Structure 1
Amino acid sequence: MSLTKKIIIALILGVIVGIGLSYAPTDIFSTINMYVLNPIGQIFLNLIMMLVVPIVFVSIVLGTAGIGDPKKLGSIGIKAISFFLVTTAIALCIGVGLGFLIQPGQAGVFDTGNIEYESQSAPPIMDTIINIIPRNPIESMASADMLQIIAFAVFIGMGLATLGEKTKGILNLFEQANDLLMWLINMIMKTAPYGAFALIASAIGGAGLNAIGSMFMYMVTIVLGLILHGAITYSLMIKFIGKGSPVKFYKEFFPAMSVAFSTSSSNATLPLAMKIAQEKLGVKKEISSFVQPLGATINMDGTAIMQAVATVFIAQIYAETLGVSDILLIILTATLASIGTAGVPGVGLVMLAMVLQAVGLPVEGIALIIGVDRILDMLRTSLNTSGDATCAYVISEYEKRKEAKVLKS
């Protein structure tokens, strides 16, 4: 049986077991979760997280060295960031539009008088830009600061490309390290169905159907937004810019999406997502190695849809009216925040707090959505990971066509 089928079966079984556990007495769920589900899920997460920093560092060094020309590297970087900003803005428009169309929030349904939420503050965007350059690369790797790791790896890759034959031995060492990491990914992915089952069962069993039921329309709105963005925005880009088949793309990429769904982590999914992009989707190794780690850090289209819907939902709960200027402010603030808050823990809720403050809505409203956010986080992480792969695929296909034209001429 293929890995994809095993993961699908595991996800279905996890949902069934999770629903069953949500009806079980609290002490029974706590015991099963503590001694069975949580250990299995955490071991799987730890296994793939232990590869994230080494694979991001090694891949970006190889990707940068493979691209070689700093102008070409800059061109690919500009294309990737432009793609991320444009798709994030489109995702926000979809989220806001669905929020007003479906109207998931109604004033007076929730007791807003006693809710509390303490928001984390995001660092100023200039601090984020300054801190991209690491003072201590080893410390950056130890703390898994992805933007700093990416910056350091780019410098190393540019040095290897510039020095050429002088550092060929070091480049060979990085290529061998990459082969070793890919072998480890293959080994670890054999445990994916068990980890997916445990993580899904734990998340659904802990959330409970009551919490899901009370927020049903909010959840439907976000899920619909995620589906539309993947089926329309990404599919059109794959079809018309990448000149490929969206059906084939999603079919091949499904194992990575399912791991993203079960782990709720773009970084944890990164090793498998890059492997599939390179081996199954034909993305050039140097482009995949550069674009996908960057996207896992700053590209958050699924999160953007959640922020847009949540902002409209909270405004409806508090009976506040959002004007055209407020809608434009939501789109602008969330688009810029997607890069400005990269690497901040709980980044989705930090960004949401910034958006709510920008349009004058109470940050305490976030407390209403936290109960179901874990489950929605699974879905939006799947979309985020797909967006990173779509960007890498589109840029790779564009570069292939450009190179083919040069060869013909």
Structure 2
Amino acid sequence: MNLSVKILIFMVVGAIVGVLFLQFGDYQCAKGLAEAECQAIQQKSWAYTYFVEGLFNIGGSLFINALKMLMVPLVLVSLVCGVCSLADPSKLGRLSLKSIGLYLLTTAIALTLALTLASIFQPGVGMPVGEASFDASEKPPLSDVIINIIPTNPFEAMVSANMLQIIVFAILVGLAITLSGEQGKRIGNWFEDANKVVMELVNIIMRFAPYGVFFLIAKTFATFPFSDLVGSLGSYFILVIVGLLLHAMITYSVLIALFTRLNPINFFKGMWPAMLTAFGTSSSNATLPVTMRCAETNLGVHKNTFSFTLPLGATINMDGTAIMQGIATLFIAQAYSVDLSMAQLLTVVLTATLASIGTAGVPSVGLILLAGVLTQVNLPVEAIGMILGIDRLLDMTRTAVNITGDAAVTTIVAKSEGEIDIDTFNDTNNRSNFDD
């Protein structure tokens, strides 16, 4: 059975199992107990303790940790190999300009789409504000981000998984190997061998992907109160999902068809395993090994392109997050009966687009970006607390959109550089099952 089918089946089963656990808690509440008492009963039940907090939590965490374990060695080794394989060092500059330019373009399009949808449907009108609270982490200044791109200690960067610093270090090592003659060739061959070993590790871990996704989805659906979606936040939730789907299916399809003349359907078929994994893990970085494997074996993108564009995209490209920010900004403004001017809307687009690079690698980056955007248009940052309760499922969906955007830009850049195997891209009957 194809890996994508396995993951999808286990994802659906996990959702059903999680809902059953949630309904068990709701049954206790139906007996007339207070909400706090119901929650306590559910969390103290042996089934909840041993399955949700035990088996599901442990199994899902093990799978995410295994993927994160591969992230640093995979990025380092594959990027060094990619730079070494560039016959023309100036090509690296072209890859950088094309990739960053397209990433900023897709983020701006995502924000424009989000603001348009929120302006038309107005999900925040009539929303009771209440006493929401949220403590925003401080966004690092752009100057510090630029300075810290160069690692003072590359080993510390690897330990802390600072992706921007790892990317820069790997590029410099690859260039040094290319310029070092025979000695460099020997080191380059070692990295090629190491890359083969790391890819085999990816194959091994991906065989457990269906089970890992099952545990993650089951735990999420067992602890997520769906009743929160029914009522005042329902329109916000649905509008964000619609925005994410429209951006993924229309924007990326148009860009791929326009710039590559390739069939977007083949693109989505090739990226399906990575999209499902991203939905289950809610982490672009954790999904990176799967994204890279899909780009190589399913889309036919050459290693010296995707080894640069995909790690960079996982770090700075946040189309899904941008859609959430745009809709959330207008949602909060409408809830507080604040009319944003056209200049303020343009400020939202510009701030969120540029800030996506300035907050690269920062935990809870979406909320930090949103806090910065709200500050720019004089909206209360504590209002983020209104949407925190339903952010988990939205986070899963926007992560899938984020990695799809990374792959779309990678495909466009690879086609422009002649670094894509068209036959592999079009061969939808021979997709990788991560067992070869």
Task: Name the TM-score, length of structure 1 as normaliser.
Answer: 0.96
Contact 1:61 1:153 survives alignment (8 Å): yes
In 2, the alpha carbon distance for the partners of 1:380 and 1:254 equals 15
1:72 aligns with 2:91: yes
The answer to which of 212-221 and 244-253 deviates more is: 212-221
In 2, the alpha carbon distance for the partners of 1:296 and 1:145 equals 12
Aligned-residue CA RMSD in angstroms?
A: 1.6
Alpha-carbon shift at residue 401 of structure 1 (Å) = 8.3
Percent identity between matched residues is: 46
Alignment of 1:6-21 (within 5 A): 6-21=6-21
Alignment of 1:351-362 (within 5 A): 351-362=369-380
Alpha-carbon shift at residue 202 of structure 1 (Å) = 1.2
Q: Which residue of 1 aligns with 2:226?
A: 209
Unaligned runs of 5+ in 2: 26-41, 421-436
Contact 2:154 2:166 survives alignment (8 Å): yes
Q: Which residue of 1 aligns with 2:114?
A: 95
Q: Give deviations 1:293-343, integer Å, cap 9, x for gaps.
A: 000000000000000000011111111111101100000000011000001
Q: Give deviations 1:367-408, integer Å, cap 9, x for gaps.
A: 111111111111111111011111111111111189xxxxxx
Q: Give deviations 1:254-275, integer Å, cap 9, x for gaps.
A: 0000000000011111111111
Q: Give deviations 1:147-203, integer Å, cap 9, x for gaps.
A: 111110010011111223221111111111111111111110111111111111211
Q: Which residue of 1 aligns with 2:429?
A: none
Alignment of 1:271-310 (within 5 A): 271-310=289-328
Alpha-carbon shift at residue 7 of structure 1 (Å) = 0.4
Q: Give deviations 1:129-160, integer Å, cap 9, x for gaps.
A: 11000000000100101111111001001111
Alpha-carbon shift at residue 213 of structure 1 (Å) = 2.0
From 49, 54, 74, the counterpart of 1:35: 54
Contact 1:204 1:375 survives alignment (8 Å): no
1:57 aligns with 2:76: yes
Q: Which residue of 1 aligns with 2:135?
A: 118
Alpha-carbon shift at residue 357 of structure 1 (Å) = 0.3
Q: Which residue of 1 aligns with 2:192?
A: 175
In 1, the alpha carbon distance for the partners of 2:377 and 2:249 equals 30
Q: Give deviations 1:211-256, integer Å, cap 9, x for gaps.
A: 2223221111111111111111111111121221111110111000
In 2, the alpha carbon distance for the partners of 1:30 and 1:64 equals 49
Task: Name the TM-score, length of structure 2 as normaliser.
Answer: 0.90
The answer to which of 132-141 and 32-41 deviates more is: 32-41
Alignment of 1:244-393 (within 5 A): 244-393=262-411
In 2, the alpha carbon distance for the partners of 1:132 and 1:31 equals 44
Contact 2:78 2:195 survives alignment (8 Å): yes
Alignment of 1:87-236 (within 5 A): 87-107=106-126, 109-112=127-130, 114-214=131-231, 215-236=233-254
The answer to which of 13-22 and 224-233 deviates more is: 13-22
Q: Which residue of 2 aligns with 1:3?
A: 3
SS in structure 1 opposite 2:220? helix
Matched to 2:79, the amino acid is I
In 1, the alpha carbon distance for the partners of 2:293 and 2:260 equals 19
Q: Which residue of 1 aligns with 2:31?
A: none
In 1, the alpha carbon distance for the partners of 2:280 and 2:227 equals 21
From 46, 64, 76, the counterpart of 2:65: 46
In 2, the alpha carbon distance for the partners of 1:368 and 1:106 equals 14
In 2, the alpha carbon distance for the partners of 1:164 and 1:69 equals 15
Alpha-carbon shift at residue 111 of structure 1 (Å) = 4.1
SS in structure 2 opposite 1:21? helix
Contact 2:59 2:215 survives alignment (8 Å): yes
Name the structure with the higher helix share: 1
Alpha-carbon shift at residue 18 of structure 1 (Å) = 2.0
Aligned length: 402
Contact 1:133 1:152 survives alignment (8 Å): yes
SS in structure 2 opposite 1:319? coil
In 1, the alpha carbon distance for the partners of 2:297 and 2:178 equals 24
Contact 1:243 1:397 survives alignment (8 Å): no
Q: Give deviations 1:341-369, integer Å, cap 9, x for gaps.
A: 00111000000000000000000111111
SS in structure 2 opposite 1:67? coil
Matched to 1:56, the amino acid is V
Alpha-carbon shift at residue 31 of structure 1 (Å) = 4.2
Unaligned runs of 5+ in 1: 403-409
The answer to which of 356-365 and 223-232 deviates more is: 223-232
The answer to which of 156-165 and 168-177 deviates more is: 156-165
- Aligned pair in 2 of structure 1 residues 43, 225: CA closer, same or farther (>3 Å)? same
SS in structure 1 opposite 2:373? helix
Alpha-carbon shift at residue 122 of structure 1 (Å) = 0.7
